Amino acid sequence: MKKRDIWSSKLVSVYLIAMFVVFLVVWQIQSLQTSSTSPWETFVTEESASMATKLRESVTFLPLKDLRYAGVPMKGHTWFMSSLYDMHEQGEVQYQEFPTEATGGRVLCLRGHNRHDGLWNSYALAWPDTLPHNATLMRGITFVSYNHYDYHNIWHGLSAMMSFVAWHIKRQCGVPERWILYHWGEVRSSMAPWVTTLLAATFGVPVKIEDFERLDDDIPACFERAVVMRHNEGGMSTERRMEVYDLMRCRSRMFCEVGSGRDEGLKIGMTMLMRDGARSFKNASAVIGIFEEECRRVEGCRLMVAYPHNLSFCEQVKLMSSTDIVISAHGAQLSNMILMDRNSSVMELFPKGWKELAGVGQYVYHWLASWSGMKHEGAWRDPHGAPCPYPDHDRRCMSVFKNGLIGHNHTYFSEWARNVIKDLIWRKAHQDSYNPVSGLCGCP
């Protein structure tokens, strides 16, 4: 073939293609106008329908609990939803959010409501317009929590939940429509009432926990928007943690209409949070007497004695907002410390044997104090306690000591209280006065 022939044959084909395109366009316009389905459209629709079916069917559910990581369930990507990684910027909360660009705009789907074995519950990602067959799409923001411990333990419950508050601050105060709680991939349907009310106060909406009971086991639920937390406060800087507790405190006071919470003339509020049974005082009136005596020495000091288990949440909020020094045995009631003004003091008491046998868990209120901007003033450890049939350092003694009673040392308690009060007076004189509750506590 000669060069010119090649050229002209190319021209001819370009011309033909152009004609074909024009023809198609005209045909499309006409078929749109007549609005009847053309064979071409039918072809296109069938093609995409079969694509959609394929996408629907390709959604792969994986077990929520991945036993390959059973030895390191809380490390890195964890054994919960192990195929997914968290978003994490330096010093910020670690979380997953769906949909985002990183996962191609796919939403999170969950299936199953087994309460005994997380291997029977599963998760998947799916495109919103090709959700798995029969899936229910749940609207709004869904908070999905992973707790390695127990939602009914106030400390562990609070620890698992505070990361959602961090997300709320970071993401324009987004409020959850529902919560989904997992422990080792098993569904949970409640948490400690104190934590539940704290969350309701913080987010300004009732806490609705979805347990999937109304869905069949094989029906997936997919979420318009989901936030997954599995690292508690891990990775967050001290400053970020304090912001979280500041917001919880502020919102709780707002929720309970506490205002500044202080009576006129109250300079130093000392509060003893009492327990019944395990880790209560051997002689409560003797202990109260010692702290009362020290408080009376200082003008404007008032000692309050409370049994938190018979106070409502709001009564606790009110009490703690006029407390500068909380005195209590180690125990759940100490979580109330986060409700005091920042820079307040915590005095903790332990029965015999804890230091040697209780492991790191005994320091949780030291940690909580530092995370929430309080000052942990150290612990008193009772040297005396119930006799243990084994040598004192034998681990079996912990079952005796765990729920032991707490005695007192008049000399020690008096000196301790005197020093804590003195430091507090100094701090109060050298710090900015606390901002009372205002507006929406920092949310627009």
Ligand X SMILES: *[C@@H]1O[C@H](CO)[C@@H](O)[C@H](O)[C@H]1NC(C)=O
Give contact residues for ligand X (rule: CB under 6 A).
133-134, 276, 283, 285-286, 289, 307, 310, 342-343, 383, 409, 411-412, 427, 431-432
**CB-nearer residue toward ligand X: 39 or 383:** 383
What's the min distance (Å) between Cβ of 388 and ligand X?
A: 19
Sign of CA dihedral 352, 353, 355, 358: negative
Q: Which is nearer to ligand X, 189 or 409 (CB)?
A: 409
- We find the least distance from the C-beta atom of residue 430 to ligand X, in angstroms, to be 7
Q: How far is the CB of 205 from ligand X (least distance, A)?
A: 28
For helices 238-255 and 193-203, angle between their N-to-C axes, nearest 10 degrees: 90
Strand 96-98 and strand 136-146: the pairing is unpaired
Task: Classify residue 316 by burial, with Cβ atoms within 10 Å: 0-12, 13-18, 19+.
Answer: buried
User: How does DSSP assign 275-314, residue by residue?
Assistant: -SSTT-BTTHHHHHHHHHHHHHTSTTEEEEEE-GGGS-HH
Question: Taking the complex as a whole, how short is the minimal distance between the CB of residue 278 and ligand X, in angstroms?
Answer: 13
- Alpha-carbon gap, residue 207 to 197, rounded angstroms: 8
For residue 27, give every residue at least 6 positions away whose Cβ sits within 8 Å of its Cβ, in sequence order, or none. 38, 40
The smaller minimum CB distance to ligand X, of residues 84 and 288, is found at: 288
Distance in angstroms (rounded) separating the CA atoms of residues 9 and 79: 64
Shortest separation between residue 204's beta carbon and ligand X, angstroms: 24
Size of the chain, expressed as the number of residues it contains: 444
Of 103 and 280, the one with the shorter C-beta distance to ligand X is 280
Q: What is the closest distance, in whole angstroms, from the C-beta atom of residue 268 to ligand X in the complex?
A: 15
